[in-house]
Chains A and B, each alone.
Chain A
C-alpha cells in the first residue's frame, strides 16, 4: 500500500462545508423534500463525497468527469480511476460530464495528452477517500475497528462475511469527517484499470442520442452563420443585406468586426439566405498566400542562422568526407483541422450573466475570453460541455465561442452559431505551415555518416485565427 497526501485539499472539501454550513449533504432541503414526495429516493438523499463522486442510497454511484471528451475516452478513463480506488461495481456507475467549475476542478481542458498524468493522484484519492468514509461508517455501525474491514464491488465486508452496500452506508458515511491521509491501492491490486472497458457513451452514440454541440437545441433559440473574409488580409468594406432580410425565416443580419452574421429560425433558411448576401472586402495589409509561404520558407531555410536544438559529433566533418549528400525538403501548408463536427457554439448573453454550451477543449479559456470581450467578471459566465465531434487542437481556440457570445449580445437572444464545412476549410485556425530540410551524408558504401534536419514554420501559437492571420510571425526552429 502507498499513501499519497499531496493532492490539493480543495478537491475534497465536501460541498456542504464549502457552502459554510458544515453539513455534508449538499442537496437543498426543499428540493429533497419535493423529490421524496415525487418518490425519487435517489435524488432525495444522494450524498456528495467530493467533486468527483456522489452515492445514492439505492447504490447509484455517480462519477463526474470534468475534462472535455473528444474521442480520447477521458469520460471513461477518469471515472475508472475513481471507481478503482472506491472499489465500486462499474456496472452501477453512472458517468456525468461536469460543467466548467474552476473551484472544483483543476486543469479542466483537453490538450497536450496531459489529463491522466495530471489528475491520476487526485482521482485516485477521490475514490479512496470516499471508500475510507464508507468503511468508517460500517465500522461504527458494527462497532468494530475499521482496519478489520475490507471492500469489494460496492460493498464493505465484515470479517464474518456480513456485507453492507455503499448505498446503505452513504448517508452515514457522508456525515463523517473527511480523512486527509488515505491509503491507495497497490497497482498490482487494480481490478478495473488495465482491463478493456467500453466507452461510457457507446450506447448513446450508436443510437443517435443528442451528445454534441450541434445537437443542442432550445425553445426560442435562433440559428446563425457568419460570413467571414475570404482570405487572410482582407477586411469588410460594405454589406448589402437587403435581399437577405426579406427571405423566409431570416430574423436579422448583423455586422460586427469583419463578420456578417445571418440570423434566422432554422439552419437551412440561413444557409440559403447567406447565398444572397452581397459583401465586399478590401485589402488590409498583405494578403497571405501559399506563394508567400514558399518564398519565406526558402529564404529562412537558406539563412545561415538557426536555433540549434541538438548537435551530436562532428557533423561538418561527416558531410565533408561524404561520398554522397542527399538533400530533400518536405512541407505542409496551412491545413484545416477538419473535425467531423463543424465548429459551433451556443451562447445566451443575459442581463445577469452568460450561458455558453458547446464543444470546446478549453472551457476556461472560452469563459475568460467571453468575460473579457463583454467586460464582465468570469464568474458571470457558465460553460456547459457537450461531447466534441473531434477537436484535433482546433477547439483549443476560443474564437468561435466568443463570436457566438458577441452575436448573442448584439441580437439580445439565445443563438447557436454553426460553421459550414466551407467556413471550416476556408478560415479559422489552421495547423501550422512548415517546411523541413533533411540532409544525409553517405559514405562510399552508402552508410549514413551524417544527418541534418532543419525546419521553419509559422509559429504554432500564431497559426491561429487572430484577426485572420494579418501579422503572421515566422519562426526558424
Chain B
C-alpha cells in the first residue's frame, strides 16, 4: 500500500458537478429547459460510453446506437411487464436492466466487430448497425415496426410521494444515474483495463509484445461501453415513454459520434461538453430553423478541419496562457476574430434561410429574420447577405493571422522560460 493524499481538486470538481446537477432545475425552471436538461443527461452517458471506444480504445464505431437502442427495447418491455404486474422491479432500477441488455448484445456483436481494428472495425460496426436496424423492422411483433413500442412510466404505488410522473422527478432520476455513470466510467479509465485500452489504441504491436491480446482488450472495452450505452437507452425510454426503430438507427449512431467529437475525444470531460452542445443544437435550434442539421454538419466539419481536439482542447489550450498571466494580450485579437466570425455567420445564415424559403414556396417568399422583414425573391437581401459573408470571411482570414502571430509569440516565450 502506498500513501495516497486526498486529491482535493478532484473532490471539488465532482462536488461542483453534483451541485450543478442539483441546482440546474432551480435556475432554469421552465418545462422546455427541463426536458432539454433531461435529454442532456442521457446524452452525456451515451457520449461518454462512446468515448470509451473512440477516445480510450481507438475504435471508431458507426453503430453504437445498437446497444443503447436494444437496451431501450428490453427496458420498454420490462416496464410494460411491471405495468401488468408480471414483474416486480422499482423504476429507478430499470436502467440496470437496460444496461445488462446492452452488455449482453455487446458480448454478442462485439465478438464479431472487435476481431479487427481501425478502418475495418469502423466498416463492420456500420454493417452490424444496419443489420440490427433491418432486423428491427423485420420483427414487428417484438419491436413494434415503424411505430415502435410505447409504455407508461407511472407504475405501482408512489414511494414517499415519488411517482415519476412529473418531469422534474424524471430529471433527478436521470441526473443521479448520470452522475453515477460518469464516476464509474472515470474510475474505469484508472483501472489496468482502461490503461491497456489506451496502449492498444496507441500501439497494438507493443501491447501484444507486453503479453496482452489486443482483440480481448478491445472486446472487454466494447462490452463495458455497451453496458453504459444500454443505461442511457433505458433512461431515454423512461423519459420519452416510447422506443422506435429510430433508437437503433444510423442517425443515432452518427449523432453520438458528432456529439463526442465536437466535445473533444482526447479528454474525459470532452463528451460531456459535446453532449450539452449537441442537445442544444438538436432541441433548441431545431425549433428555430429547419436547416439546423446543416449548421450542425458545418460546425462538425469546422471542428474536424481546425480543432481536432474538440471544444475541450480549445479550452485547455488557454490554461497555460492564463496561468502565465498573458491572456490579456490575446483578448483583443480574440474579440476581433469573434466579431469577424459573427459577421460571416450572419451572412451565411441569411443565405441558407433564403435558399430554404425558396425551395419550399408554399409558405410564400416573404420572410422575417431577426426582426427584419424582406422578400427572398428580391435581389437586395441576397447582395447584402453575400457582402456580409464575403466581408466576414476576409476579415476572419486577417484576424486569425493576428491571433496566430500573438499566440506563437506567447508560446515561444513560455517555452524559453521552461527550465
Instruction: Report whether chain A binds chain B.
Output: no
Taking Cβ atoms with an 8 Å cutoff, the residues of A that contact B are: none
